[in-house]
Chains A and B, each alone.
Chain A
């Protein structure tokens, strides 16, 4: 049981209200949230400091133009924020940020985290066609009815971790029939309770892990199984990999948007991967032919070994792929299986060490020969 703040307004308005209260009362100096940036309906994350600008905030807008965790890491890469800032992000973004903090790419200090029980986001493609406004009612209807929202990202539809693990405040959305006029805001931490102290609203006790949440988790699990069965990566082998990544144009956009890929210069973009012509000629002689630029498959498996352990399955990689390769599904599947080896869940707890940075003396003896 945790404390719940009830506001008799729609979820969107309630969050707006909450953010306004926080900024107005001076409890936070900045608000990090999605915001409309023009009349054409484009949204982007913004750092808002004035009440006036907060009017355009759309904290629950079902779109992820960039992983919020990656952005927060950029904000705090050179040191924590000096003044309190509230960040409204989705559970996977929060998990990504936690993973980045573990990698010393950001700082949690002075942040108040608001997250929500997440119904997923639409692929960026939908926003390009300008169709997202039409989809909004469908999105909220499905959320109220406790159904998987159609047309959202495949990784969203099959995401089991839609409850935020480390948020101070959680907006309950999934399966809440009356989010049109009522909103339950769960205050998970003392910090969260302290920050909302003084706000208009009713304080009650409640349980976030409701029946609806459990049934949704099961639905997502089924969806995940379906998704994995469909793609069947365990049958890939070399042939399947070459076929799947044959379309890759080598733009490495997937790593640029990946919240976990934080390296300044990726190893596969580095000089190590540039060869003198004779190297190509040797390969050419052996194979009779050689794809150039090479290393499409090795880039993808390489990235899997580097980020698989921390993949939060946000799905941005597949979204930005110009060649429509289902990268996110492959990463989600492999990530799942690698994370299970260590019973590790990326972003669950900032104290939990990343498995590759630690070890036990008695483990994995089966891989030794």
Chain B
């Protein structure tokens, strides 16, 4: 693996912003899609930037993910390709979601230059909003854990995805945006494994290489250090994921457990709205189809003695699972949006891992690979036939 090295001046974000400014100057791209601090500074929002001065408040690695990046990208390109070339700086799970959405024809990746970045995880939105400044410090510490030399107190890589990050981030093993992380960005920015004050630019394909060329950046340096560190951390995460999923199994398996877990659900469907994969303009579960005559409800109540109202909470969650689990990237946006703090993301990504395993399908890995439900083989799944 070959790449380029950028010098870090003040913080990790600086060289990236400089790189983007240069890209805009050299017309490598016309606009940048990047998280920017909102005016009061207590959160971040996706902003499409053409005017360089706006990059001042931009942060390529914000501590939170209020809106999944793929959703932002989809809102621009859902109706077709952009005329302007846009560079989108997103976390690997956002890039993977964007690739999935492109397969679902909700994102058009033509003229989009995807830049991924090593992800240390994000903090739960609630924790951040309660005390933004404190949370920011906490996040910076996590971030610096990648390169002990830069940290105030020496820390190891395990700090990435530590307990203060989203549960989904703690067990994420696809936090890099190269083939290693089954992610298909055009250019990846590596933070892990730098001995001195550097970050890495790793082009993943010709598109990435040509842009670096255009900017006179040579990408011939060895990336072994980064690769080694990323692989190490990946192993740690894989192990952790296994442990967590073992524990989760006991919590959710079986109808009683499932009902228990979702008992607090208030049917706000925030999970679905925040989900990057749930792109339907109107969800089936909010449609006319789910609005039944009163007799229907009364009859169901009588047959059991009581009917929870609204009923069909589990139907919604299981239904949503069948609809999106093959493309679930495990970003954890659903859990962040849940006002009742239900472990939606953990449950969904656990189920998704299993169903994706059936087809050996990894969402977002390859834009050319068709969705598993769009194709079939004549000779498969005989075990489900009787």
Write the residues of chain A forming the contact surface with B, with a CB cutoff of 8 angstroms: 29-30, 32, 35, 37-38, 40, 42, 44-50, 52-54, 65-66, 71, 74-83, 85, 124-125, 127-128, 239, 242-243, 246-247, 249-253, 256-257, 264-265, 269-271, 274-278, 280-281, 284-285, 287-294, 319-324
Contacts and interface: CB of A to CB of B under 8 A. Distances in A.
Contacts of B294: 75-76, 78-82
Contacts of A65: 264, 266
B221 interface: no
A360 to B, nearest CB: 35
Contacts of B308: 35, 37, 44-46
Contacts of A242: 39
Q: A-B pairs with the 9 shortest C-beta distances? A: A288-B51, A50-B305, A246-B38, A53-B306, A78-B293, A293-B75, A251-B273, A53-B305, A320-B339
A239 B40 CA distance: 10
B236 interface: no
B336 interface: yes
Given A38-B260, A127-B264, A322-B339, A46 B306 contact: yes
Contact of A124 (B130, B263, B339): B339
Contact of A277 (B76, B274, B287): B76
Interface residues of B, number: 73
A84 to B, nearest CB: 11
A149 B53 CA distance: 49
B51 A289 contact: yes
B286 A66 contact: no
A322 B270 contact: yes
Contacts of A284: 31, 48, 50, 84
Given A124-B266, A292-B33, A251 B337 contact: yes
A165 B294 CA distance: 25
Contacts of A127: 264, 340
Contacts of A40: 260, 263
Nearest to B40: A243
Interface string B296-321: 01100110111111100000000000
Interface stretch (B64-72, B184-192, B322-330, B377-385): B64-72
B309 A32 contact: yes
A32 to B, nearest CB: 7
Nearest to B297: A75
B274 A251 contact: yes
Q: Of residues A53, A85, A249, A274, which shows the largest number of chain B Cβ atoms within 10 Å of its Cβ?
A: A249
Given A75-B294, A80-B294, A291-B46, A44 B263 contact: yes
B80 A77 contact: no
Q: Of residues B31, B43, B49, B294, which shows the largest number of chain A Cβ atoms within 10 Å of its Cβ?
A: B294
B297 A246 contact: no
A224 to B, nearest CB: 24
Contact of B270 (A253, A270, A291): A253
A46 B77 CA distance: 43
A83 B268 CA distance: 29
Contact of B76 (A38, A49, A292): A292
Nearest to B129: A324
Q: Of residues B267, B281, B301, B338, which shows the largest number of chain A Cβ atoms within 10 Å of its Cβ?
A: B301
Nearest to B68: A249
Contacts of B305: 48-50, 52-53
B132 to A, nearest CB: 10
20 contacts: A38-B259, A44-B309, A48-B306, A49-B307, A50-B305, A53-B304, A65-B264, A75-B297, A78-B291, A78-B293, A124-B266, A128-B340, A247-B66, A249-B67, A249-B337, A276-B79, A277-B84, A284-B31, A323-B66, A323-B129
A52 B305 CA distance: 8
Contacts of A275: 79
B229 interface: no
Interface in B274-292: 274, 281-282, 286-288, 291-292
A29 B295 CA distance: 12
Contact of B307 (A46, A291, A321): A46
